[in-house]
Structure 1
Amino acid sequence: MTTTTGLLGPLTSPYSLAGLDLRTRFVMAPMTRFRSPGGVPTADVAAYYRRRAESGIGLIVTEGVPVGHRSATHETTVPRMTAGAAEAGWRRVTSEVHEAGGRIAAQLWHLGSEREPVDGYPSWTPATMSTANIDVIVGSFAESARVAVRAGFDAVEIHGAHGYLLDEFLWPRTNRRTDRYGADRAAFPAEVVRAVRAELPQQMPLIVRFSQFKERDYSARIASSPTELASLLTPLVSAGADVLHASQRRFWEPAFDGSPLNLAGWAKEITGLPTITVGSVGLSRTFPVSAQMDRLVAGLTGGEYDLVALGRILLGNPDWVRLADDGRFDEIHDYHKSHEDTYF
């Protein structure tokens, strides 16, 4: 896609993200799809990501990809980041995206207590992880990072949001430990960041996704103030994070009282790193899409954040960026009626 200067203005301009050149400021957010039997991405998965790369997305972030340890997930149709067949499947995905001129990041994931029972782990009652188990999981993230590099990914994202394992350490409601991992809630996530960073080429961006809300608690907050948020984000930056992906339900809502900054804005204010904002872009019935675009552009030009992630709107409409830039909002909403075969 050739960048344009329509309604989306600077959002469609090129950007260098921690040294990675992107065609536009738009990011495809990670969205679980359950279309990889046996944890292996198929040719259809590659085609799905290629369609989004062809349609104006600067950076694609894959669906959450469980790391290799068997405790990471109970799902059998979610793609893994492991050597062998899964790695070969991902290599086909990255090749297709690159042929379309796009860039793609692998999101590494461990479900934590959201996981259902799996072989070797017959039940899952939340309990304190031993330090030995923490070391094993850190190693699993590192190994999956090595696989992602071999598979041709342009960046890696660590999933530290939404109530999954790393976020369970960041959130005081779930982190009740009395050791150093309780005294410093960011210690374990920072160890994962450090281990993954060590496996990546120096020029490859490492993104960390975090959130306030959880999948089962939209009112949850890991931080009640900018100061508390700084205590959680600063260790991740020191460990090697290059980019922060701040997930909130509605991007236009302020993160804290007394300031209009959203969560990505505060992450950038605190750390100075480039940030990605995400949250209901193009979806709200109470906030017209054209007004959302005005808010997004204002936040971008004002330095609040650097990129904008699109989620569910891209599932049925990979052409969203082009149509929105032209102001063709009726076509955006009607797209699925004539393109049912391109949903996935």
Structure 2
Amino acid sequence: MAHLFSKYAIKNLELKNRLVMAPMCMFCAPETGTVTDFHIMHYAARALGGTGLITVEATAVSPEGRISENDLGIWSDDFIPGLQKIADAIHDYGSKAALQIGHAGRKSRVQGIELEAPSAIAFDEKSAVPKEMTNEDIQDTVEEFKQAAARADKAGFDMIQLHAAHGYLLSEFLSPLTNKRCDEYGGNPENRVRILGDVLDAIQSVWKDKPIEVRVSADDYAEGGNTAEDIALMLNIVKHKGIDSVNVSTGGTVNVAPNAFTNYQIPHAKVIREQTGLPVAAGGLIVSAKEANDVIAADGIEQVYVGRELLRNPYFALNAAKELKADIEFPKQYMRAYV
């Protein structure tokens, strides 16, 4: 059975299948952070290719929150028309659109800015030491996430994904390796997850009846860092604030490379699912229809995300449906290739 192509609902969002395009930075926006023709074509192609949910790359809530000078931005209303073109193009070809919003924190590579982080700890020996954020800085950032969500709503996105993974700002607060604060935003898990809870609370007033997903790093791959059990504990503290799905990734908090192999993050996702009761999206170097289908069928995961393979093959979903003999509606323009 082609479990990958069964319909799925997150909150009130109906998806035609369980395949998700993972958010992947294209690093090709101009320094203004605006959408280009490439972005529209890039995401539309994956929608035409049959992927059920397209997650648009990390989009910065502030200029200093960019990972690079060539990231997309959402820190002013000026970005709404361009982002709406992406959402509209995704919808035009039958898929749903999610937007990942985030802040790079100490891992920003933008020149000429003061890095911000929960604690004044550099990412590595080549990186600058960030400024430890004040309480006022934290509240300003929470407001930036709120305004970003409001703009994503106006741009027509169906879901937002809060980027709390890979050692960027929200992730830095979650990890004891990067958060050494002694106030209400540091120390025990309840304090470390507080900013995520604040962001969720703030977003609720502007993001009505649409799903919110949180992307997490469920393993820091370093002694003393977070494990999947630690992340599950923190998610349980704030899940009542409006988390509808968890996108489970790993790594990036400190400069340690994971031992990556096909499905290497599936065990982490299963822990998150079992210990929080929240639906999860999971992946990890998945390149075939069978691998993607087995994540749903054998591992009981709600959604599977694919990244690099969708860069190589925008039509991964259509080819997977043909291989799995799934009864789906192929684009009429391409039907002769799938009969």
- Shorter-normalised TM-score: what interval? 0.7 to 0.9
Instruction: Tell whether the 8 Å contact from 2:248 to 2:268 is kept in structure 1 after alignment.
Output: yes
Question: Does residue 1:15 correspond to 2:8, yes or no?
Answer: yes
2:240 is the alignment partner of 1:229:
no
SS of the aligned residue for 1:326 comes to helix
Give the deviation of 1:13 after TM superposition: 1.5
Runs of 4+ aligned residues of structure 1 deviating over 6 Å after TM superposition are none
Deviation digits for residues 236-272 of structure 1, max 9, x if unmatched? 312211111111455634x7xxxxx712212221221
SS in 2 for 1:56: coil
Deviations 1:204-240 (A, max 9, x none): 00000001356xxx557753463x3332111231221
Instruction: Tell me which residue corresponds to 1:246.
Output: 248
Aligned to 1:198: 205
Change (3 A) 1:20 1:87: same
Secondary structure at the counterpart of residue 185 of structure 2: helix
Offset of residue 17 of structure 1: 1.5
Aligned-partner Cα distance in 2 for 1:128–1:14? 45
Partners in 2 of 1:122 and 1:270 — Cα distance? 34
Question: Which one of the candidate residues 127, 132, 138 is aligned to 2:136?
Answer: 132
Cα pair distance change 1:106/1:294, threshold 3 Å: closer
Q: Which moved more, 1:23-32 or 1:181-190?
A: 181-190
Deviation per CA, 1:41-74: give whole Å up to 9, x if none: 122211211111111211111110010x232126
Could you tell me which residue of structure 2 aligns to residue 286 of structure 1? Answer: none
1:186 is displaced (CA, Å) by 0.7
**How do 1:293-304 and structure 2 match up within 5 A?**
293=292, 295-299=294-298, 303=300
Code of the aligned partner of 2:60: P
Counterparts of residues 146-157 of structure 1 (less than 5 Å): 146-157=150-161
| 219 and 292 in structure 1: CA distance in 2 versus 1, 3 angstrom threshold | farther
What percentage of residue pairs aligned between the two structures are identical? 30
Is the Cα contact below 8 Å between 2:263 and 2:286 reproduced in 1? Answer: no
Match of 1:189 among 176, 196, 201: 196
Distance 1:80 1:225 in 2: 30
Q: Mark the runs of 5 or more structure 2 residues left unpaired by the alignment.
A: 117-127, 251-259, 325-339
TM-superposition CA deviations, 1:110-149 (whole Å, max 9, x none): 0010013544538941342110100000010101111100
Distance, in Å, in 2 between the alignment partners of 1:161 and 1:277 is 13
User: What SS does the aligned partner of 2:205 have?
Assistant: helix
Checking the alignment, whether the CA contact within 8 Å between 2:262 and 2:286 is kept in structure 1 is yes
Q: In structure 1, what residue type is equivalent to 2:307?
A: G
CA contact (8 A) 1:252 1:295 kept: no
For the 8 Å contact 1:43–1:92, the answer to whether it is kept is no
Equivalent residue for 1:212? 218
**Against the structure 1 CA distance between its residues 10 and 298, is the aligned structure 2 distance closer, same or farther, given a 3 Å change threshold?**
closer
User: What CA distance in whole angstroms lies between the structure 2 residues aligned with 1:154 and 1:224?
Assistant: 30
Name the structure 2 match of 1:263.
268
Distance across 2 between alignment mates of 1:327 and 1:244: 28
- Cα pair distance change 1:52/1:117, threshold 3 Å: closer
TM-score of the superposition, structure 2-length normalised? Answer: 0.81
> In the alignment, residue 35 of structure 2 is paired with which amino acid?
P
Aligned-partner SS, 1:142 = helix
Contact kept? 1:74, 1:118, Cα under 8 Å: no
Match of 2:327 in 1: none
Of 53, 65, 70, the residue aligned with 2:47 is 53
Q: Does 1:106 align with 2:102?
A: no
Structure 1's unaligned 5+ residue stretches are 256-260, 283-288, 329-344
Residue pair 2:106, 2:115 contacting (<8 A) in 1 also:
no
Matched residues, number: 300
TM-score normalised by L of structure 1: 0.80
Would the aligned equivalents of 2:164 and 2:214 in 1 still touch at CA under 8 Å? yes
Paired with 2:206 and 2:77, the residues of 1 have a C-alpha distance of 18
